[in-house]
Amino acid sequence: MNFFCRLLGHTWVHKSDDPKIAWNTTKSMDELAMTASGVPRFYEECARCGAQRDLPVRVRPGSATPAAPGGDEPAPAGG
Ligand SMILES: [Zn+2]
């Protein structure tokens, strides 16, 4: 780890890897169709030492999965 990273902490910069994109003609041969292979990866990289870390997965509000039927709810803590 870089000395400054140890001292100040990493300086994270948002980065992304573009998927490989291939351009092919359509069957009618009059236009190009884009074919992307792979999924773009979004991550953060330290500007100083180059350490990488994946971004935490964001959970959109309102998209929470409903409780599974028959699932046992954990008992509330306390006493
Ligand atoms: Zn760093």
* Euclidean distance between CA atoms 59 and 56, whole angstroms: 9
pTM: predicted TM-score of the whole model, two decimal places: 0.48
Task: For residue 51, give every residue at least 6 positions away whose Cβ sits within 8 Å of its Cβ, in sequence order, or none.
Answer: 1, 5, 10, 45
Cβ–Cβ < 8 Å for 41, 53? no
Per-domain residue ranges for the chain?
Answer: 3-54
**For each of the chain's 79 residues, which pLDDT tens digit applies?**
789 999 999 999 999 887 788 888 888 888 888 887 878 788 999 999 999 998 876 667 776 555 556 556 666 666 5
Ligand 1 centre to CA of 16 (Å) is: 18
Instruction: Give the dihedral sign, CA 41/46/52/58.
Output: negative
Ligand 1 centre to CA of 11 (Å) is: 6
Ligand 1 centre to CA of 17 (Å) is: 19
